[in-house]
């Protein structure tokens, strides 16, 4: 069963507003590089979904492994020094995770569940990982 991680950069608009859109672009590119080069396997699918939102589709991982990957991403981004034009930019991510269930008819259902988990992370203070367990 597939696992889906949906995450976005916390308060990303503030990065653009306070530092510039070029700084925001740098943060997006750097985040993608970190994740692709250090945090996911070659057979996982990673993409920018839109704006500051990303998705990772994990193949062959159980829910505990997906949560560990999510936490590793969260901690790595929080600890990474994002420096643009000699200014350190504050960057954290909120992550939501869901698991494909047999009764799910489409990817949209899997995404909606992960997106709900993402919003639970945001509503709980951001910079955290939330897993929506099967019902």
Instruction: Reply yes or no on whether 52 is catalytic.
Output: yes
Q: What's phi and psi for 4, nearest 5 deg?
A: -125, 130
Please report where in the chains the tokens 């994002």 appear, as a residue. 82
| Cα–Cα distances in angstroms (integers) from residue 93 to residues 7, 70, 97, 134, in the given order | 6, 10, 13, 23
Distance CA 130, CA 127 (A): 10
Is the separation of the CB atoms in 70 and 95 below 8 Å?
Answer: yes
Residue of 29, 52, 68, 101 marked active site: 52
Q: How many residues would you count in the chain?
A: 135
Residues recognised as catalytic: 52
């Amino acid at each position: 069963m597939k696992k889906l991680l949906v995450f976005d950069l916390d308060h990303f608009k503030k990065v653009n507003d306070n530092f510039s859109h070029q700084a925001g672009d740098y943060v997006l590119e750097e985040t993608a590089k970190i994740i692709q080069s250090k945090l996911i396997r070659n057979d996982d699918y990673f993409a920018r979904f839109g704006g500051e939102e990303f998705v990772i589709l994990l193949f062959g991982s159980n829910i505990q492994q997906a949560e560990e990957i999510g936490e590793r991403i969260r901690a790595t981004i929080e600890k990474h020094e994002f420096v643009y034009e000699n200014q350190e930019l504050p960057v954290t991510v909120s992550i939501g995770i869901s698991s494909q269930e047999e009764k799910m008819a489409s990817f949209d259902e899997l995404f909606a569940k992960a997106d709900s988990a993402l919003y639970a992370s945001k509503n709980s203070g951001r910079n955290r990982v939330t897993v929506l367990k099967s019902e």
